Amino acid sequence: MNVLKGKKAAYYTLGCKLNFAETSSIAKQMEAAGVETISNGEVADICIVNTCSVTEVADSKSRQAISRLRRRHPGTLMVVTGCYRPPLTSISGGENILFVDGKQKGEIVRLIEQRIATPSSEEAGTDTHPIEEDKKRPSFVPACACGERTRFFLKVQDGCDYFCTYCTIPFARGRSRNGSIASLVKQAEEAAQQGGKEIVLTGVNTGDFGKTTGESFIDLLRALDQVEGIKRYRISSIEPNLLTEEIIRFCAESRAFMPHFHIPLQSGSDEVLRLMHRRYDTKFFAEKIEEVRRYIPDAFIGVDVIVGMRGETDELFDKGRAFMEALPVSQYHVFSYSERPGTKALEIPEVVTPAKKHERSQQILALSDEKLRTYYNIYKGQTRPVLLEHSRKASILHGFTDNYIRIEVQGAGSKKLDNTIVPIRLGEWNEKGDALIGCLGD
């Protein structure tokens, strides 16, 4: 007996591109088991929330999403997966909630079936989430999806072996593992058959690819570059110590890998990097950015930064900000340090106040805006290829250039241009100041 057939499900995703890809794959698995996705106004029998726990703010958003969905869908089986694990006492109706560990996402349909067939509050799990290093490598669960978007997100790696002092993701996701090159190429080929033009490679520590198959990340890139029909690839994020010169050179010469890198820095202070247990220093990071600029001068380089880490004194922050000002990068993605239970960072005595964290965050956000505007302004008047995609407004199409400049094309809502790569001449900033206005080029 299929206990899921005819059930209605709602899905909600928080956090990273990896979560988005996994939720889309879960929805496909549920559909194959006979579950229908709800339409507007319908009440779901099952709500699946793929959570994020990278910061306290992410925890709060996850809690709010769970509570909101419970109110909107009374009596639903709430399935909570991902990186956040709240205590049962914090959720109203906790007796009808199923926690699926981030390492068990591949079994989520079976676990839901089991729960519906034999409901028991004991199966909801405990109200604790111990922070312990898991020595085992869970199995790799594939995911490749685009949802309602144009770009596909291909999960190539999961988990992390780094255990930075501020981070709980390795405990929630498990040890680093990956799919085989052959299996990932097959998924890329399937995406091309579905009309996909661009694929973003996602993972927790993407460049660490190969731990479970003995293959290398550069060989994966070479194999994917040969897939017919896929015109563009982007690497969602890669650690600076894993971004080798060989990878940079390959991206510079490849057919389909775009001039776009996202590289975590986390701090511009060597002292703070040591407190974080990062695997490089500022000298190495600066040389890596110079290496990218040498081979790919027009590359968009996004950089992650954490402000307010324990031990980050005013002097160390000022030193880090000066380093970031000098870096020839395109944008900073700024996060305020969050206290994560069970992490080694809690052993560092010096605590940064919330007010000071906010002040520092605003300073780096202002620097990021300056960097981004400077980068965009360089390319005004140029014509570059843009993958166009629909937006909520029928008269507007959005897209990104090869080097990741966000473009807004007005008066071009034709469905014929959706999911097409066309030459676009880059004009002035739009009213919101978050994109350049483009017009069809020659």
Write down the pLDDT at residue 25: 87
CATH 3.30.750.210, domain 140-258, yes or no: yes
- Across 222-229, average pLDDT: 98
Write down the pLDDT at residue 146: 83
State CA 22 to chain mean position distance. 11
Domain spanning 383-440, CATH class:
mainly beta
Q: 412 falls in which pLDDT band (50, 70, 90)?
A: low
In the block, tokens 């006979």 appear at 34
- Across 150-160, average pLDDT: 94
Write down the pLDDT at residue 170: 87
Task: Choose from 2-16, 111-125, 166-180, 239-253 the range with maximum mean pLDDT.
Answer: 239-253
Cα separations (Å) of 253 from 227, 242, 404?
16, 19, 18
Residue in 285, 61, 280, 302 with CA at minimum distance from that of residue 200: 302
Residue in 89, 84, 50 with CA at minimum distance from that of residue 69: 50
Write down the pLDDT at residue 124: 42
Write down the pLDDT at residue 1: 62
- Across 360-364, average pLDDT: 98
Within 8 A by CB and 6+ apart from 9, the residues are 27, 30, 35, 36, 37, 38, 44, 45, 46, 47, 48
Q: 327 falls in which pLDDT band (50, 70, 90)?
A: very high
Amino acid letter, 185: V
Query: Which CATH architecture is the domain 291-378 placed in?
Result: 2-Layer Sandwich (3.30)
Q: 338 falls in which pLDDT band (50, 70, 90)?
A: very high
Kindly report, residue by residue over 22-61, the tens digit of the pLDDT.
998 899 899 999 999 999 889 999 999 999 988 888 888 9
Write down the pLDDT at residue 86: 64
- Across 203-213, average pLDDT: 95
8-124 and 383-440 have identical folds = no
Task: Choose from 126-135, 352-361, 393-402 the range with maximum mean pLDDT.
Answer: 352-361
Within 8 A by CB and 6+ apart from 95, the residues are 121, 124
- Across 209-221, average pLDDT: 97
Amino acid letter, 53: S
Within 8 A by CB and 6+ apart from 414, the residues are none
Write down the pLDDT at residue 82: 87
- Across 119-141, average pLDDT: 57
In the block, tokens 């089991």 appear at 114
Residue 435 CA to residue 396 CA, distance in Å, equals: 12
- CB 191, CB 199: distance < 8 Å: yes
Domain boundaries, the chain: 8-124, 140-258, 291-378, 383-440
Kindly report, residue by residue over 378-394, the tens digit of the pLDDT.
999 999 999 999 877 76
**Percent of the chain whose predicted confidence (pLDDT) is above 70:** 91
Residue 340 CA to residue 22 CA, distance in Å, equals: 24
pTM: 0.89
- Across 224-239, average pLDDT: 97
Cα separations (Å) of 7 from 35, 43, 46?
5, 10, 7
Q: Which fold has domain 8-124?
A: Rossmann fold (3.40.50)
- Across 339-354, average pLDDT: 93
Q: 83 falls in which pLDDT band (50, 70, 90)?
A: confident
Q: 214 falls in which pLDDT band (50, 70, 90)?
A: very high
Residue in 113, 152, 87 with CA at minimum distance from that of residue 9: 113
Q: 94 falls in which pLDDT band (50, 70, 90)?
A: low
Longest distance between any two alpha carbons in the chain, whole Å: 66
Burial of 55 (0-12, 13-18, 19+ CB in 10 A): middle
- Across 135-156, average pLDDT: 84
- Across 325-329, average pLDDT: 98
Q: What is the mean pLDDT of the chain?
A: 90
